[in-house]
A = this chain, B = another copy of it.
Amino acid sequence: MITEEKRPALRPFHNATAAFAEGTDSPREFLERCIAVIEEDQPKFHAFVNLDLTYARAAADASGKRWKEGAPLSSIDGLPVGIKDIIETANMPTEMGSPLFAGYRSGRDAASVAALREAGAVVVGKTVTTEFAASVPRETRNPWDPARTPGGSSSGSACAVGDGMLPAALGTQVIGSILRPASYCGAFGYKPSVGGINRGGSLDYHSQSCQGVIAASLEDAWLTAREITARAGGDPGFPGIRGPRAVPEPRKPARLAFLQTAGWPAATDDAKEQLQSVLDRFRAAGITIADRSGDSDIAKAEDAIAGAMQLSTTINTWDFRWPLNVFARNMDHSKLSSVMQERLVLAERMTLEEYQDAIAERDRLRAIFAVLADHFDAAVTLTAPDAAPLGLESTGNPAFVVPGSMLGVPAITLPLMRTQGLPLGLQLLGYSGRDADLFSVARAVAVL
Which residues of A come within 8 Å of B, CB atoms?
90, 107-111, 114-115, 198, 200-201, 205-208, 229-230, 232-233, 236-240, 242, 318-319, 321-323, 325-327, 329-331, 351-352, 355-356, 359-360
| 4 extra interface residue pairs, beta carbon distance < 8 Å, beyond A107-B330, A201-B322, A239-B360 | A108-B330, A200-B322, A201-B323, A232-B321
Q: Find out whether the CB atom of A327 lies under 8 angstroms from the CB atom of B108.
A: yes
Kindly list chain B residues whose C-beta atoms are within 8 Å of the C-beta of A205.
200, 236
Known A-B contacts A114-B325, A321-B232, A322-B232; the reply to A108 vs B331 at CB < 8 A is yes
Q: Find out whether the CB atom of B352 lies under 8 angstroms from the CB atom of A322.
A: no
Alpha-carbon gap, A323 to B239, bound state (A): 18
Known A-B contacts A109-B330, A330-B108; the reply to A239 vs B359 at CB < 8 A is yes
**Which A-B residue pairs are the 10 nearest by beta carbons?**
A207-B237, A111-B322, A207-B236, A90-B330, A108-B326, A239-B356, A108-B330, A236-B319, A109-B326, A200-B322
Kindly list chain B residues whose C-beta atoms are within 8 Å of the C-beta of A90.
326, 329-330
Kindly list chain B residues whose C-beta atoms are within 8 Å of the C-beta of A356.
239-240, 242
Q: Shortest CB–CB separation between residue A431 and chain B, in angstroms?
A: 17
Q: Find out whether the CB atom of A321 lies under 8 angstroms from the CB atom of B109.
A: no
Q: Find out whether the CB atom of A331 lies under 8 angstroms from the CB atom of B107.
A: yes
Q: Shortest CB–CB separation between residue A13 and chain B, in angstroms?
A: 22
Kindly list chain B residues whose C-beta atoms are within 8 Å of the C-beta of A207.
236-237
Kindly list chain B residues whose C-beta atoms are within 8 Å of the C-beta of A326.
90, 108-109, 114, 201
Known A-B contacts A90-B326, A200-B323; the reply to A230 vs B352 at CB < 8 A is yes
Kindly list chain B residues whose C-beta atoms are within 8 Å of the C-beta of A323.
108, 111, 200-201
Residue on B with the closest CB to A206? B236
Q: Shortest CB–CB separation between residue A386 and chain B, in angstroms?
A: 32
Q: Shortest CB–CB separation between residue A181 and chain B, in angstroms?
A: 23
Determine which residue in A200, A201, A206 has the highest number of CB atoms from chain B within 10 A of its CB, and name it.
A200
Q: Shortest CB–CB separation between residue A235 and chain B, in angstroms?
A: 8
Kindly list chain B residues whose C-beta atoms are within 8 Å of the C-beta of A322.
110-111, 114-115, 198, 200-201, 232
Alpha-carbon gap, A329 to B116, bound state (A): 14
Kindly list chain B residues whose C-beta atoms are within 8 Å of the C-beta of A239.
352, 355-356, 359-360
Residue on B with the closest CB to A357? B239
Pairs A–B under 8 Å by Cβ, sample size 16? A107-B331, A108-B326, A108-B330, A109-B329, A110-B322, A111-B322, A111-B323, A200-B205, A201-B322, A201-B323, A201-B326, A208-B237, A239-B352, A239-B355, A239-B360, A240-B356
Q: Find out whether the CB atom of B359 lies under 8 angstroms from the CB atom of A237.
A: yes
Q: Find out whether the CB atom of A352 lies under 8 angstroms from the CB atom of B240.
A: yes
Q: Shortest CB–CB separation between residue A169 and chain B, in angstroms?
A: 20
Alpha-carbon gap, A319 to B239, bound state (A): 11
Residue on B with the closest CB to A245? B352
Q: Find out whether the CB atom of B233 lies under 8 angstroms from the CB atom of A329.
A: no
Determine which residue in A115, A198, A355 has the highest number of CB atoms from chain B within 10 A of its CB, and name it.
A355
Q: Shortest CB–CB separation between residue A175 and chain B, in angstroms?
A: 15
Q: Shortest CB–CB separation between residue A387 and chain B, in angstroms?
A: 34
Q: Shortest CB–CB separation between residue A204 and chain B, in angstroms?
A: 10
Q: Find out whether the CB atom of B114 lies under 8 angstroms from the CB atom of A233.
A: no
Alpha-carbon gap, A230 to B236, bound state (A): 24
Q: Shortest CB–CB separation between residue A106 and chain B, in angstroms?
A: 9
Kindly list chain B residues whose C-beta atoms are within 8 Å of the C-beta of A240.
352, 355-356
Alpha-carbon gap, A229 to B327, bound state (A): 19
Kindly list chain B residues whose C-beta atoms are within 8 Å of the C-beta of A359.
237-239
Alpha-carbon gap, A200 to B207, bound state (A): 12
Residue on B with the closest CB to A194? B237
Kindly list chain B residues whose C-beta atoms are within 8 Å of the C-beta of A319.
233, 236-237
